[in-house]
């Protein structure tokens, strides 16, 4: 039976799936569990990725999250849409194989512009694989130096594409920063026991995890998130079976985690201060449940793909914030998209104090 949801009910369930409200059937309580819950979490900006985890693990600090990543509870790579995500280590290889093929097929034009031949990219992957073997770990700059030492031209965007390709092929992955430096390691060494599902099982896992962490959503949203075809997205939903349940939102067919149908659907007046690159907004094409279209330019100025950090009340975006991290304090400036009364300002300040505590720094707040 298809359950019909109002937009308010759909938003309440979506925020529960996003782990921004208590879930009735699950309590992910570690970096590994949160990342597995989503299957993949946006992490193209490393600092935003850390806070995406921190906001879902209250009481943990940035150092706690970094330590978990050093323990290899999750790793970063380019599994979907050419964008860096945090993924469970055991799932990285099959995700690259299932979702990465379409990304690889779409780079020929850009590589032609750069003068980057397939043979150069394959050679770069071989060189990095050899340089990192045996527990090696190189910074981005050291990787580029290594490629140049092997006679490869890394000028312009060529170096970036070679690093991307080596990870897309499953040779390397991104390890946690050392200081401010991005580092690379061998995927086989950081994920020595990969899960190897058959393709339909893999599609089912992708569908279940995406819907579980984002639903209610349509099959087109799943296709967009994974970079797969709508046909494969539909196959994934079918493969997920009874783990997913059909619903309608404003008459539009969608699916939701079946366990979520037992969750409270009443709106909750909660307040969150989320990083810009968070599944809360980036996990969707249609963001109208969470964001007034009139405010889209304030959240993504110039539609340039760079999302501002958001202030969220009851699931709706009501403001943005920018932070400057110094040695002695973190300075945050809040921009109101809808008027804040005194009570809301106090709650926003409290939420930002949680972010400052995550960093281990005092908060300096300006409005």
Looking at the whole model, is its pTM more than 0.85? yes
For residues 22-39, give the mean pLDDT: 94
Distance (Å) of CA 267 to CA 9, 34, 248, 345: 7, 23, 18, 20
- What residues have CB less than 8 Å from 71, skipping those under 6 apart? none
Locate 105 and state its tokens. 């097929």
Give the bridge partners for 210, in sequence order: none
Round the average pLDDT of the chain to a whole number and report it: 95
Q: Residue 2 burial by CB count (10 A; 0-12/13-18/19+): exposed, middle or buried?
A: exposed
Q: What is the pLDDT of residue 263?
A: 77
- Nearest CA-CA partner of 80 in 100, 60, 52: 100
The percentage of the chain sitting over the pLDDT mark of 90, rounded to a whole number, equals 89
How far is the C-alpha of 210 from the C-alpha of 256, rounded, in Å?
Answer: 10
Q: What is the mean pLDDT of residues 21-48?
A: 94
pLDDT digit string, tens, across residues 130-140: 999 999 999 99
- For residue 265, the model assigns a pLDDT of 80
**Phi–psi pair at 305, nearest 5 degrees:** 85, 0
Residue 342: Cβ-neighbour burial (10 angstroms; 0-12, 13-18, 19+):
exposed
Q: How far apart are CA 43 and CA 347, in angstroms?
A: 27
pLDDT at 232: 97
Residue 152 DSSP SS3: coil
For residue 57, give the nearest of 37, 34, 78 by alpha carbon: 34
Please say if the pLDDT value at position 304 is more than 90: no
Measured at the CA of 20, the angle between CA 273 and CA 235, to 5 degrees, comes to 125
Q: What is the mean pLDDT of residues 205-211?
A: 98
Distance CA 155, CA 39 (A): 34
CA-closest candidate to residue 18, choices 310, 235, 230: 310
* Residues whose CB is less than 8 angstroms from the CB of residue 44 and which lie 6 or more positions away in sequence, other chains included: 83, 84, 277
Spatial strand order in the sheet of 244-249:
3-5, 244-249, 252-257
d(CA 150, CA 322): 41
Query: Tokens 């937009």 label which residue?
Result: 7
Kindly give, in sequence order, each residue whose CB lies less than 8 Å from that of residue 175, ignoring residues fewer than 6 positions away. 75, 76, 137, 183, 184, 185, 190
């Amino acid at each position: 039976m298809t359950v019909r949801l109002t937009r308010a009910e759909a938003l309440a369930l979506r925020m529960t799936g996003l782990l921004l409200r208590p879930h009735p059937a699950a309590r992910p309580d570690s970096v590994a569990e949160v990342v597995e819950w989503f299957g993949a979490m946006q992490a193209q900006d490393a600092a935003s990725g850390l806070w995406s985890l921190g906001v879902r693990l209250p009481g943990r600090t940035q150092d706690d999250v970094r330590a978990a990543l050093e323990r290899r509870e999750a790793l970063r790579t380019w599994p979907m849409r050419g964008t860096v995500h945090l993924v469970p280590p055991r799932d990285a290889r099959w995700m690259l194989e299932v979702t990465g093929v379409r990304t690889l097929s779409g780079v020929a034009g850009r590589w032609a512009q750069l003068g980057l031949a397939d043979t150069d990219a394959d050679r770069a992957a071989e060189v990095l694989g050899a340089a990192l073997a045996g527990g090696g770990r190189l910074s981005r700059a050291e990787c580029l130096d290594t490629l140049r030492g092997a006679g490869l031209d890394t000028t312009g965007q060529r170096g970036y594409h070679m690093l991307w390709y080596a990870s897309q092929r499953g040779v390397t992955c991104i390890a946690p920063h050392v200081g401010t430096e991005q580092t690379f390691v061998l995927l086989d060494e950081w994920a020595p026991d990969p899960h190897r599902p058959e393709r339909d099982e893999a599609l089912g896992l992708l569908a279940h995890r995406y819907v579980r962490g984002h639903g209610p959503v349509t099959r087109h949203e799943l296709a967009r998130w994974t970079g797969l075809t709508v046909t494969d997205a539909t196959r994934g939903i079918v493969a997920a079976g009874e783990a997913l349940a059909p619903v309608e939102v404003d008459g539009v067919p969608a699916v939701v985690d079946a366990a979520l149908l037992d969750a409270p659907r009443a709106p909750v007046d909660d307040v969150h201060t989320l990083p810009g690159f968070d599944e809360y907004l980036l996990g969707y094409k249609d963001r109208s449940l969470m964001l007034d279209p009139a405010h889209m330019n304030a959240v993504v100025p110039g539609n340039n793909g760079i999302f501002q950090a958001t202030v969220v009340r009851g699931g709706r975006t009501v403001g943005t914030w920018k932070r400057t991290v110094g040695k002695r304090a973190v300075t945050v400036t809040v921009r109101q998209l809808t008027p804040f009364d005194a009570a809301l300002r106090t709650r926003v300040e409290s939420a930002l104090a949680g972010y400052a505590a995550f960093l281990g720094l005092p908060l300096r707040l300006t409005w």
